[in-house]
Structure 1
Amino acid sequence: NCFEFGNGSCPGTFRSSGIRGAMYLFMTGAIFFTIFGNLAIIICVSYFKQLRSPTNFLILSMAVTDFLLGLTVMPYSMVRSVENCWYFGLTFCKVHYSFDLMLCVTSIFHLCSIALDRFYAICYPLHYSSKVTISVIKRMLAVCWSVPAAFALGVSFSEAYASGIEGYQILDACSRSCLVIVNKLWGTVLFTVGFFTPGCIMLGIYVKKFLVSKKHARLMSSMPENANHEKPNQLSKNKDRKAAKTLSIVMGVFLICWFPCFFTVLIDPFLNFSSPALLFDALTWCGYFNSTCNPLIYGFFYPWFRKALRYILGKIFQTRFYTASL
């Protein structure tokens, strides 16, 4: 019985045209920067031979993930968030949600893989080139893509996430809001797989890396002060400061963007689904912004990416510039 949902089958919206226009403008800007920021990294790493390292292949794959999120998921989420209605049908709602979940978790898995790669490079530098090979990176990428894909597609189309929720079938059939409500079990599983486990791995790795960097700095400081060691000591201190800054930015952005979203998914079933839909929309977009920030952190933060982009923009018509030294 869909009588209670009314003829429109969409919740009423009280937003003025000015507010809706501002929301469209803001979200379109986020989509634009997500798409073209990650596209710039894809072009740079794919084109320049000097950037084709194991670490940069991880960054390239993450950029592809975030690019697809901005291109295929965020525009439909924007329409749903602004109009407070889903115009694209029930089947596409499930497809959209499955791709949304898959690409978001895949992006988080890539963050975790990059942390593992950098941990091995800093803590075991002499063995890094022989242990972290292209074949190892391919296996890591296979895990980063296959596990979230199997998890998201299986959960979405089986509707196991809604098992035991009273009234969900009527809501799913009658409402045109594309609401996805998870039960207690799958809320806990999603929080553990998508945020808690990768977050703990990343945090532990970054703490270990920071401690190793401090140990290197102490060793450098204990060396006799003379002209030969003054420059290495200064370089080591600068590198440690840069490492500390990078770690704080990476973890800060990750936690700010994803913790509120996953925490709400975890606790909402235990609060009898009392969280408003507007809150879920806002927190979902907060998570999307992590894909917007990733190009700034992992791409343009490094000088050779900025130089590669300048080559592409300024010398694109010159021949053989893809072999330029960066």
Structure 2
Amino acid sequence: EDLNDSLYCFPHLSDSCLRADRYPVTKAIMYTFMLAIILVTVFGNLLVIMSISHFRQLQSPTNFIILSLALVDCLLGCLVLPYSMMRSVEGCWYLGETVCTLHSSLDMGLSVASMLHVSLISVDRYWAICDPLRYGGHSTALFVAAGTSITWLFSIMFSFGVVASKVNLVGMEMLVESLCVGTCVLLFNKQWGIIAPLLTFFTPAAVMVSLYLKIFYVARRHAQSISDRLVTTAVSDQKERKAAKTLSFVVGVFLLCWMPFFITTIIDPFLNFSAPASVFDALVWFGYLNSMCNPLIYGFFYPRFQRAFHIILSRQIFRQNSSNTKMDTA
């Protein structure tokens, strides 16, 4: 009887879910891998937040969007990923329906906010490279403030609204009632399985790809005319091409991490939800990897961020007056 009890999430309930049947070594490997993702996500994004907040050299319009993105990804790592790790490894949700609803809302909201921030950075880079004469000053600051505020508000209101209203479950009442106790999944019916991915992923992805192609075209056109320009302009063009290459990497990682999950989200309701839970779980964690990669991309690809990280990690920041801590600008 004790052996049978250990097979269930809630042994005293007749409709309890089964625990995940995994070897202890498998669980240990999963916990180690997921904990590493959480730690890199949290502390990597904290480094970005500290760097931009402390060093004036990093306080540009683009970097304020990156600061907001880092805050989103850090909150995802702190508030969502630890509970997702427990659910993924144990195969059980022990925290009840209310916390499950809050977790699902935060999971969806912060993930959407992260994706929309990446798209917002693409718009900012497009404006800076393709229309540099109008980029800068009050209009840019207003764009950043409005863009980040709208991104946060839309992501949280949309996600909490969908989960709280249960509009995503309309027509699926029989399926929801048949779920065992100890599960916490975010399901979508056929309609919202299309609407949600279209609004939160495919539209931002299309914007990013189209803007990147335009940026690449402009940077290449500028590069072809370098021989007719001054050296200072050539250096500027080189920076434009580097920005275009970095953005292409950003778009590539973004699509690689999230595309499999959203394609499955669209297809699964039409296949009578035949995708195994373990596959969905793996795809969700693959999407989470994007929040881990963001500080690596925006931080470690830029020398100024590298120097800021070095000053913070070597604790030089504590040995100097905080207002006088400076980075080499070479």
TM-score normalized by structure 2? Answer: 0.90
Code of the residue aligned with 1:111 in structure 2: it is V
Task: Judge conservation of contact 1:11–1:177 (CA < 8 Å) in 2.
Answer: no
Q: Does 1:91 align with 2:98?
A: yes
Query: How far has the Cα of 1:237 moved from its partner?
Result: 7.1
Task: Judge conservation of contact 1:161–1:183 (CA < 8 Å) in 2.
Answer: yes
Q: Does 1:262 align with 2:265?
A: no
Q: Residue 72 of structure 1 corresponds to which residue in structure 2?
A: 79
Task: Judge conservation of contact 2:101–2:163 (CA < 8 Å) in 1.
Answer: yes
Q: Residue 287 of structure 1 corresponds to which residue in structure 2?
A: 287
For residue 167 of structure 1, the aligned residue among 174, 184, 198 is 174
For residue 16 of structure 1, the aligned residue among 13, 23, 32 is 23
Separation (CA, whole Å) in 2 of partners of 1:132 and 1:18: 56
Partner SS, residue 322 of structure 1: coil
For residue 318 of structure 1, the aligned residue among 310, 320, 328 is 320
Code of the residue aligned with 1:302 in structure 2: it is Y
Task: Judge conservation of contact 2:261–2:287 (CA < 8 Å) in 1.
Answer: yes
Separation (CA, whole Å) in 2 of partners of 1:59 and 1:171: 43
Task: Judge conservation of contact 2:215–2:244 (CA < 8 Å) in 1.
Answer: no
Code of the residue aligned with 2:199 in structure 1: it is V
Separation (CA, whole Å) in 2 of partners of 1:251 and 1:310: 27
Separation (CA, whole Å) in 2 of partners of 1:209 and 1:76: 40
Task: Judge conservation of contact 1:13–1:83 (CA < 8 Å) in 2.
Answer: yes
The superposition leaves residues 44-69 of structure 1 with CA deviations (integer Å, 9 ceiling, x where unpaired) of 00111221111111000000000000
Query: How far has the Cα of 1:137 moved from its partner?
Result: 1.2
For residue 53 of structure 1, the aligned residue among 60, 65, 89 is 60
Separation (CA, whole Å) in 1 of partners of 2:249 and 2:326: 32
Q: Does 1:43 align with 2:50?
A: yes
Task: Judge conservation of contact 1:217–1:236 (CA < 8 Å) in 2.
Answer: no
Does the C-alpha gap of structure 1 residues 54 and 236 become closer, same or farther in structure 2, counting only changes over 3 Å? Answer: closer
Query: How far has the Cα of 1:241 moved from its partner?
Result: 5.3
Separation (CA, whole Å) in 1 of partners of 2:129 and 2:240: 11
Partner SS, residue 19 of structure 1: helix
Query: How far has the Cα of 1:220 moved from its partner?
Result: 1.4
Separation (CA, whole Å) in 1 of partners of 2:188 and 2:13: 25
Code of the residue aligned with 2:106 in structure 1: it is F
Separation (CA, whole Å) in 1 of partners of 2:285 and 2:304: 30
Q: Residue 253 of structure 2 corresponds to which residue in structure 1?
A: 253
Query: How far has the Cα of 1:232 moved from its partner?
Result: 5.8
Q: Does 1:190 align with 2:193?
A: no
Query: How far has the Cα of 1:275 moved from its partner?
Result: 0.6
Q: Residue 298 of structure 1 corresponds to which residue in structure 2?
A: 298
For residue 215 of structure 2, the aligned residue among 206, 209, 215 is 209
For residue 110 of structure 1, the aligned residue among 110, 117, 121 is 117
Separation (CA, whole Å) in 1 of partners of 2:165 and 2:279: 26
Stretch of structure 1 that moved more, 304-313 or 30-39: 304-313
Separation (CA, whole Å) in 2 of partners of 1:149 and 1:264: 23
Q: Does 1:145 align with 2:147?
A: no
Code of the residue aligned with 2:128 in structure 1: it is A
Separation (CA, whole Å) in 2 of partners of 1:243 and 1:137: 18
Task: Judge conservation of contact 2:219–2:240 (CA < 8 Å) in 1.
Answer: yes
The superposition leaves residues 152-178 of structure 1 with CA deviations (integer Å, 9 ceiling, x where unpaired) of 001001111011015234135x43111
Identity, in percent, stands at 46
Partner SS, residue 127 of structure 1: coil
Code of the residue aligned with 2:320 in structure 1: it is Q
Separation (CA, whole Å) in 1 of partners of 2:326 and 2:26: 49
Task: Judge conservation of contact 1:81–1:281 (CA < 8 Å) in 2.
Answer: yes
Does the C-alpha gap of structure 1 residues 163 and 9 become closer, same or farther in structure 2, counting only changes over 3 Å? Answer: same
Q: Residue 180 of structure 1 corresponds to which residue in structure 2?
A: 186
Separation (CA, whole Å) in 2 of partners of 1:250 and 1:32: 21
Q: Residue 137 of structure 2 corresponds to which residue in structure 1?
A: 130
Task: Judge conservation of contact 2:113–2:155 (CA < 8 Å) in 1.
Answer: yes
Partner SS, residue 69 of structure 2: helix
Separation (CA, whole Å) in 1 of partners of 2:72 and 2:236: 34
RMSD of the TM alignment (CA)? 2.0
Stretch of structure 1 that moved more, 126-135 or 93-102: 126-135
Task: Judge conservation of contact 1:106–1:148 (CA < 8 Å) in 2.
Answer: yes
Q: Residue 200 of structure 1 corresponds to which residue in structure 2?
A: 206
Does the C-alpha gap of structure 1 residues 135 and 243 become closer, same or farther in structure 2, counting only changes over 3 Å? Answer: closer
